[in-house]
Amino acid sequence: MKVRELTTQFEQFAPQRLAMAGDPVGLQLGSLDAEVSKVLVTLDVRPEVVDEAIAVGADLIFAHHPAMFRPVKNMDLSVPQNAMYAKIIENHITVYAAHTNLDNADGGMNDWLAEALQLVNPVGLVPEKTEAEYLLTVHVSPVYADAVRLAMVGSGAGNIDRYKGTSYEWNGTSWFTPLSGADPELGPVGERTQTDEVAIQARVSDSHVDATVQAVNDVFPGGHPSLQLIPLRDAAKTFYMGRVGDLATPMTARDFAEYCKAIFGVAGLRLVAADPLKMIHRVAVLGGDGGRFYPDAIAAGADAYVTGDVYYHTGHDMLASGLTVVDPGHHIEQICKPKLTELFEDWQLDHKWPIEIVASKLNTDPFTFV
């Protein structure tokens, strides 16, 4: 199996186009055409993680944080980062990163964080990318309807708000006159005939159109299905950074901070709160460095905002605004390790991939509370 097969499937889930401008997502080191038999899923690519990959026999490191945020000016191997790159290349390991495209994807990083916090009815926080929406209709013989329907929704069609894989279909009759070279099974040339058909219809976003059409072509008998792709006027799919939702049970700011410590398994965190006894009903969360988006949390009606890497002066501004902020650090994004592993294992079963997926066991948080 090639690395490209896994990354192509992943980019149907979190297309690179969802990444913020300048974010170095995708292939970091190696080749998409390299063979892969074992994948190591990690938050960070650090020297100890590379050693772990070598120890477990992984030939692909799939990371959330890119290994190469900045261009390499030289390959002086006395620099630890350069030495790490050299070791990756020496051991024929491919490195792939999914950063802000995974943050912004539906069902991605920020949905995982909102789920961990058990937020009720979470919605997007900061609009980041908008894609056109289309209505795809496929006409097919009833005997092949299940295969086509599953191909459509399996490639990303039919995802509407909180519903996945939605489709609509109806039965009908097609009338036609076969001409020379037509499929003989559909009737004699020159004779008016009819056949029962099922029309299957689903919405599909721009980023999933090519994959969905290809999936239908792959399962359609003889290829060349009858497809109709109609752009939906005034309809677009918006992808968001962060999520905002309600707590099932309101709690004080102090109790909410303790709740976050327990949920994310951190030894300590920073709390910005003018009143530790303020009741928290509505919570916004944005993984990583999200301090600059605190006005969006206020605009969304959040009483508390969970994000990492809050700067000193930004903290003062948050305090003055009356917003409670919990900074449990950047490393809470380690939630990606079990979640991506589970996602890849599901695809492995679906596609019968001959690979093994393992989650990194290392803690790459550079900070220790003392």
- CA 336 to CA 102: how far, in whole Å? 9
The long-range contacts involving 313-318, CB below 8 angstroms and separated by at least 24 positions, are 315/270, 315/272, 315/291, 318/272, 318/291, 318/294
First to last CA, the chain: 46
Residues 6+ apart with CB under 8 A from 339: 112
DSSP-based three-state secondary structure for 196: strand
Looking at residue 324, what DSSP letter applies? E
Place of tokens 């206020």: 298
**337 vs 360: CA distance, rounded Å:** 7
Distance of alpha carbon 18 from alpha carbon 239, whole angstroms:
8
Those residues with Cβ within 8 angstroms of residue 329's Cβ, 6 or more apart along the chain or in another chain:
266, 269, 308, 309, 365, 367
The label of the residue with tokens 């964080």 reads 113
Closest by Cα among 144, 152, 149 to 196: 144
331 is in an annotated binding site: no
Contact 133, 25 (CB under 8 A): no
The burial class, CB within 10 Å (0-12 / 13-18 / 19+), for 211 is buried
- 127 token code pair: 């609009």
Q: Which two structure tokens, joined as six digits, stand for 354?
A: 């001959």
The annotation status of 224 as a binding-site residue, yes or no, is no
Q: Which two tokens stand for residue 249?
A: 């049970």
Q: Is 330 annotated as a binding residue?
A: yes
Distance from C-alpha of 85 to C-alpha of 95, rounded to nearest angstrom: 10
* R_g of the chain computed on alpha carbons: 25
Name the pairing type of β-strands 60-63 and 94-97.
parallel
Known binding residues = 64-65, 103, 330, 333
Known binding residues for a divalent metal cation = 64-65, 103, 330, 333
